[in-house]
Structure 1
Amino acid sequence: MSPIITGLLLAVGVSVFVMTMAGRIGVLLAMKPENRLDNIPQRAAALLRFGLGQKRMVDPEEFTPGFMHVLIFAAFMTLALRTVMLFVMGFSETALVLLTDLTEPFWAANPALLTVYKLYLLAKDVVAVGALLGCAYFVYARAIVKPDRMSPSWEAYLILGFISGLMITEFLFGGSHMVPREQSMPLATSNFVWWEPATSVVGMAMRPLGYTVAHVLGVAGFWIHLSIVLAFLNFLPWGKHFHVITGLPNVFFLRLGQGQRNTQSAKLPTPNLEKEEFGTATMKDLTWKQGLDLYSCTECGRCQTHCPTYITGKPLTHKGVNQDLKHWAWDNQMWIEEGRGPSGTTEPLPEIIGSALKAETVWACTSCGWCETACPVFIENVPRLIDMRRYQVQVKADFPPEIQRVFEGIERQGNPWGLGQDRRDEWAEDLALPTWGDGGGPYEYLFFVGCAGSYDDKQKKVSRALVKILREAGVSFATLSKQEMCNGDTARRLGNEYLYQTMAKTNVETWNSMGVKAVITQCPHCFNTIKNEYPEFGGEYRVINHTQLINDLLKEKRIKLSQVMNEKLTYHDPCYLGRHNGVYDAPREVLKAIPGLEVVEMQRSQREGFCCGAGGGRMWMEEHIGTRINHNRLNEAALTLKHAEDPNTPYPSATDKQKPGQVGDYKEPGGKGIVAVACPFCSTMLKDAVNDTGREELIKVKDITELVADALEVKTGTGTVAPSVAVSAKPE
């Protein structure tokens, strides 16, 4: 070929790329430092599984497009070596001959190497065909199917054209070398070889053109291929396909614990308040990993499929947030790096809220975690938004007015309702419960009742039902009675980190001094906070959710369920129990153990469960924009129960490509039955939705604990088992 042309192309292409990347990297270096080089073996394993192995790309809800992406990814990885070979051929005629003519004496002298090379060429051909198939699929998807999650994009078509062009020019170049100089040579011996099947077919098609034309096409294919490679390379840092460069590093630097069954995705980073780490105000307050997250967003839209804010019309999509922040950073690169604003003079960076994002966007998130579960490159959306809330609350005191009373209630009375601390144990006045530290014991478990279990009339019934079950099973437990205080989850997720850390440190100090080793919770938010976040403050406890404990008691035959319930039931997965902590089986196993209960699953369940709308502190905030999240979820439950009664009832797909989440648009009364919950927030939200939609006569919302207590076979007589307790509470 031509060393001069190859050298010029390479010099210009690489120089422009380096200059562009210098700016992109400069922005990251201007952001806050963060240690993501711990536990290298675990990170390497995640890279192999989720980066190179593309594990998340083939998740069930997006298997087909994911598989097609895997085909393209495989072609990229395999053809990277081929691209290097082509550049070498451009510089060296000897390399060109050697790599295109396997009859050269060199190969005869190295048969083992020849075999390896032939196997590589075979793999190259197979993945190249796969990439063309993938490109055709995505063109069809964008032009014909038009999935809701995919935004219209000329860039996507350009990139698909680049990829297809690389594959086609590779086939043209290879095929041209299979056209014999003399047309009289037999077709079978001169064209087809097993190690380049697709290239051989192209060579056969080119043969009628003659050697000269085929040679010209091959040379053209060679130079076009190199040009596309360099054009593609320089286009990547300017668009959404930047993830081709940053995606694998982003997976390597993931938050440890992501991708496992126990995801710990709800474990928020803990800022050092003594060093005045009060949250994110400007782009420079983001960490370099958060900046890398922005670069790595593929705009695939998977985060939208079950996102409660997107589905119900709120001003928040995590894809949109990533793009808004990324483009603001790119448009103001020098401002971030050197402090020079648009006018060219030194000026302070503007706050993110007000320049790149709107306040209602930041406050809309329910922290359900779907976006992080679905993201193939492990972008950490929730912690970034919580950091922005922290700044708004702790520095600016600028937050939705309705949460002021929540903060005051926790500060003054140790609960978000602001009810008197002296009333915390009223729910158990007649139960004669042991109190930790009262001289009795020792106790195996601390029953952390929680604020809802102590003060909310609906949840008091659950607290009493759980006591009934624990006593019937002979579980050794005690409560803190009036000493119990809020664990601080609500304050933390609403941005009041100072209040959260105060509560956490106080609780840990108290529990440690009492010798607490194991904790029972009936609230997934308490469960997550105590289990995953308290260890940073010295609170190392064995934490068990009430559904897990009940399931264990059933398996150990310490309780028996004998009361028959001839009811249809569907179970709603709490985000902080299921998605954030991987507890899916225990609640279902408990429900299936109740005689006569017919359990039917909603489409959006388990990993794909849909939020009730209360997480992220939204329990305490008004919902003014779009439709109510709890209504959407309750509508799906009503439709699920109706479909169980009458399978002829239309039941649209929850992951419909054009309109995801339409199962939540159901407006009919629906079927009769029970919606089972395992979270006080979910209970409140879904009961409110039942009342709001006029389904009180058809649907009942009950905690799993209440159902178990109703079905429980109570022992009689005097034994070592403590007497059971009647379940009752003040009327709602």
Structure 2
Amino acid sequence: MSPIITGLLLAVAIPIFVMTMSGRIGVLLAMKGENRFDHIPERLKRLTLFGLGQKRMVDPEEFTPGLMHVLIYAAFMVLALRTVMLFAMGFSSTALAVLTDLGDPFWASQPALLALYKVYLLAKDVVAALALVGCAYFVWTRWKVKPDRMTVSWEAYLILGFISGLMISEFLFGGSHMVVANAAQAKMGATQVPQTAASLVWWEPVTSAVGLAMMPLGENAAHAVGVAGFWIHLAIILTFLNFLPLGKHFHIITGLPNVFFQRTHSTGKLPTPNLEKEEFGTATVKDLTWKQGLDLYSCTECGRCQTHCPTYITGKPLTHKGVNQDLKHWIWDHEQWVEEGYGPSKVKEPLPEIVGSALKAETVWACTSCGWCEQACPVFIENVPRLIDMRRYQVQVKAEFPPEIQRVFEGIERQGNPWGLGQDRRDEWAEDLALPTWGDGGGPYEYLFFVGCAGSYDDKQKKVSRALVKIMREAGVSFATLSKQEMCNGDSARRMGNEYLFQSMAKTNVETWNSMGVKAVITQCPHCFNTIKNEYPEFGGEYRVINHTQLINELLKEKRIKLSSVMNTKLTYHDPCYLGRHNGVYDAPREVLNAIPGLEVVEMQRSKREGFCCGAGGGRMWMEEHIGTRINHNRLNEAALTLKHAEDPNTPYPSASDKKKPGLVGDYKDKGGTGVVAVACPFCSTMLKDAVNDTGREENIKVKDITELVADSLVETRTGSGTVTPGVTVSAKPE
């Protein structure tokens, strides 16, 4: 075409892109280091599955828009090679002749390469056409549907225009060559139409169709359109390239690396700072790690993190999309300050703290750490650890935090439990049960039953503890407790930012348990389960950890316990975030419930991986909700509506596909709906029981732990105190 024009375009565009990217990369290099180069085989596997394969894009709740995005993504991947070809054509007339004319002598000597090139052209044509379908879908979605999760912006329409322009210009360029080739053959009086002539061909079906449509233009006009299409295509590519680092479509560059560098462990595991090196949390943006900075760059603003976010749905000042954008734009506006230390006044000055400059304190403290944002994010942005790091600084350095959690810290530190109740009262719940205590000379015991603070002190959860003992004794499970020696595992302290207190509790517990020879632990609290399973190994606590729903499910499968009908009622199950979303335990609780005769189990609309938080996670159990509506009310409203709809299918039930107002099922205010809400977490139990009382549904809805339901249905065959049987092993199978 024209080497001069092509060269000038590159000479202008590439330096601008390099200058912009140097600032973006410089900021990442100025942030804290972090090792994300471990587990390379696993990272490559995940990159293939979730990055190149786009698996998370087509999650059920967003399947259609996800599929449309995949169509556009596929076009970008396939047309990347075509873009290289076009630049080659711009510099070389030979490349232009060979790549646009399959009758060129070059191809006659390369039949295998010609066949491969035709296959590529077919793929290019198909994905480019499908990309136009995707673009049309997103224009219609933003213009007409206007989903709640999408932010209205001119940038989206501009990018869709760029993408559409690339595809259309490609078709016009290819179609014009077919018209010109056809005209040339006609002038030569050829009796046969060559392969490049304007007729439908299988290797470029769309391009050849465009060529046929352009035939009435004539040779000169078609050639002019093709030339315009060529230069427009290159101009869009280079403009697009320079626009990417300026907006949300930066993820086109950073998305795949971010997927590769995702953490390879459970989302329930928080990073462990080295307190001896004074790693006390995140104060300024330079305290973020380079991976956390890459997370900010990779946020697509798709809003998937909002659809089931408890804080967003209930009107709290936190959306993770918003946090990402606020931090990203603050960094971009102050790149020199972050990278070189020069503030807006052009003199060296320290960076301001994030809380107070880029984010508000109430934003940082609103998160329940339920993990939905990370489950939904297609590029695996890690939002929760970043917020917890900010809390760590607020607590450990500034001593600025919600006042109600001061007593929680004091209770854990002085009495080993967040209520601050006497340590000598830890085993009062089991005074008449004659439970064996680990290290009392009995045993050997197979399992440590870690009762937990709620199971030991909370009146409601004490019943669950006793019910679990009843089940384990009936099954002959070999277990013992720590009695008065048991201490809090530290979960709430860690997620409220008091890392020093958490590490003190963790080290003390691990040292005690290891000295006693503990190998396996049974928990009845998902928060205890998550902490001991995922976070204690960093302190030397390598245990096989089993949640009580997994335990009961295995006992049922092995026919070591038998259930009889105790109720005929409708029941819906609430997934605890730290059992389900963070640790993938969804089936065991449901299999247990389905094994209880007489129960009719109905699912809530937001269940399993889409489950809605009760509002207690992330230490919010101990904090007041002063803003928006209460999260536990929203969840209880959904449970009531689910039970009511099961009774009367004519009861209106909002569609889960309503994109304009997510969480509409949580707006149900009627008293209707009778049955049981089953839980598997003491925090969830407390929050949902409080919601039942707050909303005046005490007569209709009961909240019960799965353990209580099983114990009520249990057929007891053992007599006496129910002494345990040493050596009986139960192993929870992964789900």
1:193 Cα shift?
Answer: 1.2
**Runs (5+) with no aligned partner, structure 1:** 258-263, 724-732
- CA deviation map 1:160-212 (0-9, x unaligned): 00000000000000000110225958889642211000000000000110010
1:565 Cα shift?
Answer: 1.4
Q: How does 1:141-540 map to 2 (within 5 A)?
A: 141-179=141-179, 180-181=182-183, 190-257=198-265, 264-540=266-542
- CA deviation map 1:452-504 (0-9, x unaligned): 00000000000000000010001110000000000000000000000000000
- CA deviation map 1:544-586 (0-9, x unaligned): 0000000000000000001331010000000000000000000
- 2:183 alignment partner, SS class: coil
The question of whether the paired residues in 2 share the 8 Å contact of 1:655 and 1:661 is answered with no
In the alignment, the residues of structure 2 paired with residue 90 and residue 500 of structure 1 have an alpha-carbon distance, to the nearest angstrom, of 63
The aligned counterpart of 1:261 is none
Identity of aligned residues (%): 84
Amino acid in structure 2 at the alignment position of 1:462:
V
TM-score, structure 2 as length reference: 0.96
- CA deviation map 1:659-707 (0-9, x unaligned): 0001000000121000000000000000000000000000000000000
The question of whether the paired residues in 2 share the 8 Å contact of 1:472 and 1:721 is answered with no
The question of whether the paired residues in 2 share the 8 Å contact of 1:305 and 1:655 is answered with no
The question of whether the paired residues in 2 share the 8 Å contact of 1:183 and 1:210 is answered with no
- 1:181 alignment partner, SS class: helix
The question of whether the paired residues in 1 share the 8 Å contact of 2:256 and 2:379 is answered with yes
- 1:461 alignment partner, SS class: helix
Question: How much is the aligned-residue C-alpha RMSD, in angstroms?
Answer: 1.3
The question of whether the paired residues in 2 share the 8 Å contact of 1:6 and 1:91 is answered with yes
Amino acid in structure 2 at the alignment position of 1:272:
N
The question of whether the paired residues in 1 share the 8 Å contact of 2:198 and 2:208 is answered with no
Q: Which runs of 4+ in 1 moved over 4 A?
A: 182-189, 716-723
1:106 Cα shift?
Answer: 1.0
1:710 Cα shift?
Answer: 0.1
In the alignment, the residues of structure 2 paired with residue 716 and residue 70 of structure 1 have an alpha-carbon distance, to the nearest angstrom, of 59
In structure 2, relative to structure 1, the CA distance for the partners of 1:606 and 1:38 (3 Å cut) is same
The question of whether the paired residues in 2 share the 8 Å contact of 1:107 and 1:113 is answered with yes
- 2:570 alignment partner, SS class: strand
Between the two proteins, the alignment pairs up a number of residues equal to 717
Amino acid in structure 1 at the alignment position of 2:139:
V
The aligned counterpart of 1:693 is 695
In the alignment, the residues of structure 2 paired with residue 717 and residue 134 of structure 1 have an alpha-carbon distance, to the nearest angstrom, of 67
TM-score, structure 1 as length reference: 0.97
In the alignment, the residues of structure 2 paired with residue 470 and residue 79 of structure 1 have an alpha-carbon distance, to the nearest angstrom, of 61
The aligned counterpart of 1:726 is none
The question of whether the paired residues in 2 share the 8 Å contact of 1:640 and 1:671 is answered with yes
In the alignment, the residues of structure 1 paired with residue 698 and residue 654 of structure 2 have an alpha-carbon distance, to the nearest angstrom, of 24
- 1:564 alignment partner, SS class: coil
In structure 2, relative to structure 1, the CA distance for the partners of 1:717 and 1:18 (3 Å cut) is closer
- CA deviation map 1:53-85 (0-9, x unaligned): 000000000000000000000000000000000
In the alignment, the residues of structure 2 paired with residue 721 and residue 671 of structure 1 have an alpha-carbon distance, to the nearest angstrom, of 42
Amino acid in structure 2 at the alignment position of 1:643:
H
- 1:447 alignment partner, SS class: strand
Q: How does 1:650-729 map to 2 (within 5 A)?
A: 650-716=652-718
Amino acid in structure 1 at the alignment position of 2:386:
R
1:657 Cα shift?
Answer: 0.5
Residue 34 of structure 2 is aligned to residue 26 of structure 1: no
In structure 2, relative to structure 1, the CA distance for the partners of 1:169 and 1:699 (3 Å cut) is same
1:654 Cα shift?
Answer: 3.7
In structure 2, relative to structure 1, the CA distance for the partners of 1:632 and 1:718 (3 Å cut) is closer
In the alignment, the residues of structure 2 paired with residue 369 and residue 593 of structure 1 have an alpha-carbon distance, to the nearest angstrom, of 29
In the alignment, the residues of structure 2 paired with residue 629 and residue 14 of structure 1 have an alpha-carbon distance, to the nearest angstrom, of 50
Residue 59 of structure 2 is aligned to residue 59 of structure 1: yes
Amino acid in structure 2 at the alignment position of 1:13:
A
Amino acid in structure 1 at the alignment position of 2:124:
K
1:247 Cα shift?
Answer: 0.2
The aligned counterpart of 1:93 is 93
The aligned counterpart of 1:110 is 110
The aligned counterpart of 1:581 is 583
Q: Which moved more, 1:84-93 or 1:650-659?
A: 650-659
Q: How does 1:554-593 map to 2 (within 5 A)?
A: 554-593=556-595
In the alignment, the residues of structure 2 paired with residue 634 and residue 35 of structure 1 have an alpha-carbon distance, to the nearest angstrom, of 42
In structure 2, relative to structure 1, the CA distance for the partners of 1:190 and 1:676 (3 Å cut) is same
The question of whether the paired residues in 2 share the 8 Å contact of 1:653 and 1:660 is answered with no
- CA deviation map 1:513-551 (0-9, x unaligned): 000000000000000000000000000000000000000
1:656 Cα shift?
Answer: 1.6
Q: Which moved more, 1:477-486 or 1:648-657?
A: 648-657
- 1:616 alignment partner, SS class: coil
The aligned counterpart of 1:728 is none
In structure 2, relative to structure 1, the CA distance for the partners of 1:662 and 1:497 (3 Å cut) is same
**Runs (5+) with no aligned partner, structure 2:** 726-735
The question of whether the paired residues in 2 share the 8 Å contact of 1:46 and 1:251 is answered with yes
